Amino acid sequence: MNFNEYRKALYITWVIISIFIIIFLLLFYSLDNSFLLAAAPTCPSKLKGSTCFLCGMTRAFLSIKDGQYFAAQQFNSGSVILFSLIFINSIIFIIEKMINLKKI
């Protein structure tokens, strides 16, 4: 494989992931918090009595959804950064697709 083939494969992967992220964000903002908490599985680490780096992320994202960034930081210290990256990626993806549509 040459460089252009790797670049194309990476681009296709980014497009697929970005589409799933946008679907996630749309569902996340349209569904009720209590439904999302009930649907979220219990972390296997918690069942063993320990924690993982994603523990508290569901509650943290719900806090971000409600505009409570300090509470989100307390649930999981990386939640605000991760949510920001997800949101920024979605914006970049939408802008990139809009620019490519204008080229057609």
pLDDT tens-place string over residues 60-69: 999 999 999 9
Best CA proximity match to 75, nearest among 96, 54, 100, 104:
54
Q: How far apart are the first and last CA of the chain?
A: 28
The mean of the pLDDT values for the chain is: 92
Tokens of 103: 């080229």
Whether 44 shows a pLDDT value over 90: the answer reads: no
Instruction: Give me the number of domains the chain comprises.
Output: 1
Predicted confidence band of residue 101 (pLDDT cuts 50, 70, 90): confident
- The model's pLDDT over 8-42, given as tens digits with 9 standing for 90+, comes to 999 999 999 999 999 999 999 999 999 999 998 88
The whole domain housing 42 covers 3-103
Using CA atoms, how far apart are residues 8 and 51, in angstroms rounded to an integer?
A: 38
What is the CB-side half-sphere exposure of residue 16 using CA atoms within 13 A? 6
pLDDT for the residue numbered 42: 85
pLDDT for the residue numbered 7: 93
The amino acid present at 33, given as its one-letter code, is: N
Determine if the pTM surpasses 0.85: no
Whether 46 shows a pLDDT value over 90: the answer reads: no
